[in-house]
Structure 1
Amino acid sequence: MTAARSHSTTAQGVQGTLDDLGTPLAEVTFVVVDLETTGGSPAESAITEIGAVKVRGGADLGQFGTLVDPGGEIPPFITALTGITQAMVTAAPRIDSVLPAFLEFARGCVLVAHNAPFDTGFLKAACAAHGYAWPAFPVIDTVDLARRVLTRDEVPNCKLETLARFFRTATRPCHRALADARATVDVLHGLIERLGSFGVTSLEELRGFAKAPTPEQRSKRHLADTVPSAPGVYVFEDTRGEALYIGKSGDLRSRVRSYFTGSETRHRVREMVGLAERVRTIVCATGLEAEIRELRLIAEHKPRYNRRSKFPERVLWLKLTVEPFPRLSIVRECRDDGAAYLGPMSSRRQAEEARAAMHEALPLRQCTQRLTPRLIERGRARTCALGEMGRCGAPCEGRESAAAYEAHSGSARAVIAGDVRPVVAAARARIDRLAAGRRYEEAGLQRDRLAAFVRAAARGQRLGALAGCRQVVAARPAFDGGWELAVVRHGRLAAAGMIPPRAHPRPYVDALIATAETVFPWSVTTGAPGGAAAAEEMECILRWMDAPGVRPVEVEGSWTSPVHGAERLREWIDNAYATRGLGESRSGRPLK
């Protein structure tokens, strides 16, 4: 009855009760948490340390801190960053025993973290992996608060180290969990003091403050007025017509309108909205066409506010050179020169590890000189120690003829073409030998090399199979009962369309094929052997074709995967990364 009277009184314009004001911030119990991990992705990395501090009304109520055994190696660059070594976590508890204690410590509190999606992402993944329900914690991100409260004149960025200096925290962040959590507590208190000038005094107001749209977002809402409700691509442009940001959506109007609401919290995107003067849209027939057009436009215009897909030309390839004594070279351009190419790969590190895996199995020369028989006969070829170590047949010294060396280069060509067994067998034998000798860090290095090789080879074989087909026509069920159509030529989307529900498909298929783009089998500009599309575009097409219900309509060419190719080994590699030891399976037995 009391609650009913309070509601009625408030509705009549009379001052409400104290209950209507929400939970005062001075009465809220915050648990400020920070994690250290072996990497940036919960799917591929593990927690190495948890630190948390419980505070209420500015008073410290307790703290929680422990190292965590990640169940695998800690990368050297992580050790250099955090100071956490493999020896430090050897005797530490595993996450399955740490997690219940942390959840109990944080029970009934508001969770606070600096860049909260990172920390909560790892904690949620750990809960899911070990059968714990993730509590419905209210979450506050100090990064979001800092972006709303502080100006660029006050702080150049919202990194924890920058905010710690600005607020003069008692504890300096040092990439250790408990110290960083203590620093975040002081940052939180400093931000809450600033929030008083914005009239934020309750938990409910605090949670809504960081998500509220900025004045710039509110003032630009009219840009979405003429955007159609259809699948396609949208381009935010400035006053000069320069593309600021390019995206795609199944419903252009709904997606573009979301940029002008509080649901858009990315600082860079909010800044972009403030600069935008118009939104140009390109309506597409299907979601696949929208995704492909987005990739092509980003690669062409390289908008300053897009972060991914801007430089498809930066992929790397492992090239078996065309010369009397071929060698493996890392190149950025893939040419139609008769050479064998492995890839594409996204980083030089992956390319170097894949090359090292091949060198473990094949005694190819590793020197960079252009070696010719005449140079060897004159004794002017540079020599190295690999010949003495048995890692090379030493053709530079004349100990191996061009004909004998051809056996090694022929094996390398066979590996790149699709038979990865020699490289995998050599790497697995070495991993097993090192693991048996408890040389786990070295075994981990060999595993990383093998993984880089397998993933590069599998990617190349999948893309090469699609690119080798002159034409593939496929149909995918649409939500309205019709069909989405795609015509793919040499790996490039040449046309896309729709078949209405209950319509005969043949006329639509014939019309789409007749109007499809002409595609040549190879293009130097894209750097794709046997294909005229960038690797990311072909991967989008393959994901679309892998969806349930997709049916091939026509296939011109041989769309196959090598019997002894790398695709079948990808699952084994993923499982190897999930194991407790570097050379052991989940049961503790050596990997076979």
Structure 2
Amino acid sequence: MRHESSVGAFRSLPGARQRGRQITPAKPGLQTPPDISGRPVQLGLDELGTPLHDVTFVVVDLETTGGSAKDCEITEIGAVKVRAGECVGEFQTLVNPGVPVPAFIARLTGISTAMVSDAPRIEAVVPAFLEFIRGTVLVAHNAPFDVSFLRAAAARSSYAWPGNQVLDTVALARRVVTRDEAPNHKLSTLANLFHATVTPDHRALSDARATVDVMHALFDRLAPLGITHLEDLATATDPVPPDVRRKRHLADGLPTGPGVYMFVGPGSEVLYVGTSTSVHKRVRSYFTASEKRGRMVEMIRLAESVRAVPCETELESRVRELRLITEHAPRYNRRSKHPERMHWVRLTTEAHPRLTIVQDVRRRTTGPSEPHIGPFTSRGRAQEALEALQATHAVRQCAARLPVVPLASATACALAEMGRCSAPCVPREKRPTGTSEAVYTVVTESLRSTMRSDSGPVVAALSRRIKELAGDERFEDAAAERDRLTAYLAGAARAQRLEPLSACEQLVAARPWTGGGWEIVVVRHGRLAATAVCPPGRDPYATVAAAVDSAEHVVARPAPAPACHPEEADLVLAWLRSPGVRLVSTTLPQTCPARGAERYLVNMTTAGVVSSVV
């Protein structure tokens, strides 16, 4: 059998990052850099793949006392070790099962109780067999059967199963041998079809030798389908459309480290943007059977090339991915494409404020800005949060802009009659008892406090309401109140986390880097402005100074809105809260309210009441 590798031992990697580059300013838009033709780079196995002629296979066959590994025992093991089409070793032994061999098994295999009475027990055989298969790919005809017995034998002998990759020749045969050629995929049938040099006779070593010939014949048939490497065999039994498999070359030359990749279609259209800690490995997986999503298969059929943006750190790659999705709005990405469609709940700036839903944070020209909570990924979630605030504060719900002095003809609405509105729109003599301008001022001040720093009133009121509804067995109504509460807490917690970071002109932080050294980030108004890696043994403060000097200039937006996609600020916040982070410098302290929404949201998440934050 002849196999050839089309990939050389060395080649340059287009688009590979120069190893000496430590600092990466986060430029607006993050345009893809041009390919770099640098010095030759030694490729790893993940990129080259392992040609089949370089793989050592052990083809194994067992004879047993029955068909179940739980109740039956092994009577014979036969194995053949092959590499590059040649036999390099054999393993064969009878095994004393410790029980009589059933008569029908003796007739089928020719192995009788007398033959195995002096054979070693399986506990004595397992160590030698495990050593024989070390570092190889295990092959068997109907592999689940043989492997189940071998696993059980190893467990009973107190040996850990080594976890070799397993190849089933039955599954391969079903892929390339049609019913017109053979009525079934039994070993004897395939051995006859492929003119095997050994005829199977239900003895372990003979059957293993026959399986070797069948395996090589199957490899010859799989090669024209593009299955020529060990990595291809992992998905060879789960058919991949030929037009998809033929595009595997799009992964050639991509970096093996962290970064962002873009599938590009006709007219240089960016079809899909993704990120991975190993760009080459992730992109290659799109051309295998592990990719089950129909829309991704459709995208691959359109793709003409794959561009990569190598990144120093995982945070940088995830931020670049988000910015590229926002910039290109790829049709096959489903998230983060339209930050302008996110929603905030805001208290309006007028004589008699009310709650409203907006798509941006608005700053007052004079005086303090009104509070916002959010952003929310959907208007529905924002509406639920708004209703939670309205249910616990007697704020007006009408949309009209009210005059400072109420009209004499105005009358109280039904909500005012029920005590759910302070009725600032009607003259004092027409208001329900206990309502006045002063009362409405108290309501709005309490509402501001709830939105900014103290979520206790909303949590207490809605929790009581949920308990009452559940006690009356009105479970759907209780679930609706729970959804309103969690929507409010999620939006308020997000705003309270974002506000100090968004208002901060510059924050520099570092955390230990894998393998030593430090990973350093510079954040300005919530936006990742620069990232750097300080290698072990170097002065980290020199790297910090260089990162600050090269960082992107960022223009602030009205807090709590960050100067970037809110999800980018979330990524930065998650990084800052990760173990080991050191705060190097900041122009504004980073704090959250002690009685803020985060406190209650964490408690509810821990209790299993809510599983997602926004």
TM-score between both structures, scaled by the size of structure 1: 0.62
Counterpart of 2:316?
A: 289
CA distance in 2, matches of 1:198, 1:476: 62
Pick the aligned partner of 1:479 from 480, 489, 514: 514
Deviations 1:391-418 (A, max 9, x none): 1122222235544322211111111111
Deviations 1:326-352 (A, max 9, x none): 111112222223332111112222212
CA distance in 1, matches of 2:519, 2:183: 50
Deviation at 1:208, TM superposition (A): 5.8
Deviation at 1:430, TM superposition (A): 2.3
Counterpart of 1:343?
A: 374
Pick the aligned partner of 1:386 from 415, 434, 448: 415
- Rg comparison, structure with higher value: 2
Matches within 5 A, 1:338-377: 338-374=369-405, 376-377=406-407
Deviations 1:213-270 (A, max 9, x none): 3212322122222212232111110131110111112222222222223332322222
Identity rate, percent: 44
Pick the aligned partner of 2:348 from 311, 314, 321: 321
Matches within 5 A, 1:202-221: 211-221=238-248
The answer to whether the aligner puts 1:546 opposite 2:577 as a matched pair is yes
| Structure 1 residues 225 and 365: CA distance shift in structure 2, 3 A | same
Matches within 5 A, 1:152-301: 211-301=238-328
SS of the aligned residue for 2:416 comes to coil
Deviations 1:2-44 (A, max 9, x none): 77679699x899xxx99965399xx9xxxxxxxxxxxxxxxxx
| Structure 1 residues 6 and 562: CA distance shift in structure 2, 3 A | closer
Verify the 8 A CA contact 2:346 2:373 in the aligned structure 1.
Answer: yes
Give 1:496's aligned amino acid.
T
Matches within 5 A, 1:569-580: 569-575=600-606, 577-578=608-609
CA distance in 2, matches of 1:425, 1:487: 39
| Structure 1 residues 544 and 8: CA distance shift in structure 2, 3 A | closer
SS of the aligned residue for 1:395 comes to coil
Verify the 8 A CA contact 1:248 1:290 in the aligned structure 2.
Answer: yes
Deviations 1:524-543 (A, max 9, x none): xxxx6352022110111111
The answer to whether the aligner puts 1:450 opposite 2:467 as a matched pair is no
Deviations 1:285-320 (A, max 9, x none): 211111001001001111111112222222111111
CA distance in 2, matches of 1:382, 1:298: 51
CA distance in 2, matches of 1:270, 1:5: 42
Deviation at 1:443, TM superposition (A): 2.8
| Structure 1 residues 507 and 557: CA distance shift in structure 2, 3 A | same
Deviations 1:75-115 (A, max 9, x none): xxxxxxxxxxxxxxxxxxxxxxxxxxxxxxxxxxxxxxxxx
Verify the 8 A CA contact 2:496 2:560 in the aligned structure 1.
Answer: no
The answer to whether the aligner puts 1:310 opposite 2:317 as a matched pair is no
Pick the aligned partner of 1:424 from 447, 459, 468: 459
Verify the 8 A CA contact 2:454 2:596 in the aligned structure 1.
Answer: yes
Deviations 1:417-470 (A, max 9, x none): 111122122222323333444444333332222111111111111122221222
| Structure 1 residues 201 and 339: CA distance shift in structure 2, 3 A | farther
Counterpart of 2:91?
A: none
Give 1:569's aligned amino acid.
Y
SS of the aligned residue for 1:292 comes to helix
SS of the aligned residue for 1:377 comes to coil
| Structure 1 residues 200 and 482: CA distance shift in structure 2, 3 A | farther
Give 1:359's aligned amino acid.
Q
Deviation at 1:576, TM superposition (A): 5.4
Give 1:366's aligned amino acid.
Q
Matches within 5 A, 1:445-524: 445-522=480-557
SS of the aligned residue for 2:255 comes to coil
Matches within 5 A, 1:107-122: none
Counterpart of 1:44?
A: none
Counterpart of 1:333?
A: 360
Deviation at 1:366, TM superposition (A): 0.8
User: Which structure exhibits the higher relative contact order, with contacts defined as CA atoms closer than 8 Å and separated by 6 or more residues?
Assistant: 2
Counterpart of 1:565?
A: 596
CA distance in 2, matches of 1:574, 1:407: 32
CA distance in 1, matches of 2:380, 2:608: 18
CA distance in 1, matches of 2:308, 2:512: 25
Matches within 5 A, 1:517-536: 517-522=552-557, 529-536=560-567
| Structure 1 residues 235 and 377: CA distance shift in structure 2, 3 A | same
Deviations 1:180-222 (A, max 9, x none): xxxxxxxxxxxx9xx979999779x9x9677333212322122
| Structure 1 residues 439 and 200: CA distance shift in structure 2, 3 A | farther
SS of the aligned residue for 1:396 comes to coil
TM-score between both structures, scaled by the size of structure 2: 0.60
Counterpart of 2:441?
A: 406
CA distance in 2, matches of 1:461, 1:263: 41
SS of the aligned residue for 1:220 comes to helix
CA distance in 2, matches of 1:197, 1:512: 67
SS of the aligned residue for 2:394 comes to coil
Verify the 8 A CA contact 1:216 1:273 in the aligned structure 2.
Answer: no
CA distance in 1, matches of 2:183, 2:454: 64
SS of the aligned residue for 2:325 comes to helix
CA distance in 1, matches of 2:322, 2:264: 17
Give 2:528's aligned amino acid.
L
| Structure 1 residues 461 and 21: CA distance shift in structure 2, 3 A | same
